[in-house]
Structure 1
Amino acid sequence: MDKCREAFEKTRTFKEFDARSPVVFSNFGGYVSAEDGRPQVYLNGALASYQEQQKRIDELQAKVEAVKQLIGEYKDPAITSDKSFQHGLLLVVDELEQALKGGEE
């Protein structure tokens, strides 16, 4: 089972639906009723939405990691001997760190 589907099956949406109408994941890539094998359109749509949002979250996390790496590089005093440039970089680093934390402190 893929990690995204595994996480989806831990959500309240899935658990409540499965409690009312037990489902299984078919070999065709979607949820079907455990009783009669009929496709569960609502649950399959919810899974597709969940997967799309997780993809966006993963993309944002990759961007955050890239910014964190830049912050680490910019904090290195050996990046330049120009003191005013170093000061400017530290101001940018501070602003980036605040943005990653969610705003002003």
Structure 2
Amino acid sequence: MDKCREAFMVMLEEISLPMHMREFDEEKCQFKYKTTSCLWMGFSKAWQYQQKRIDELQTKLDAIKTCIEEKQYKTLRNGAPVLNVADLEQALKGGEG
């Protein structure tokens, strides 16, 4: 199981259901869950959690792209682009390069 799927499943397991998602069955003297609402709420929260992680990764990717575009220069010998690795590492960690 990959890390994203694992995190998604953990998020689903950690969701607690509010009272408005439950109905009390007086005959059976127990709570029933509104299944569709529960599933939608669970998947919605898990989706939002994963979207937040995607947004964070996109921010890092944008920082790397900017770093490459701004810091790139050509060597005199062969014209190949040379990048400052420390700047790229800093951008990956979430800081500005």
- TM-score relative to the length of structure 1: 0.39
**Structure 1 or 2: larger helix share?**
1
**Structure 1 or 2: larger strand share?**
2
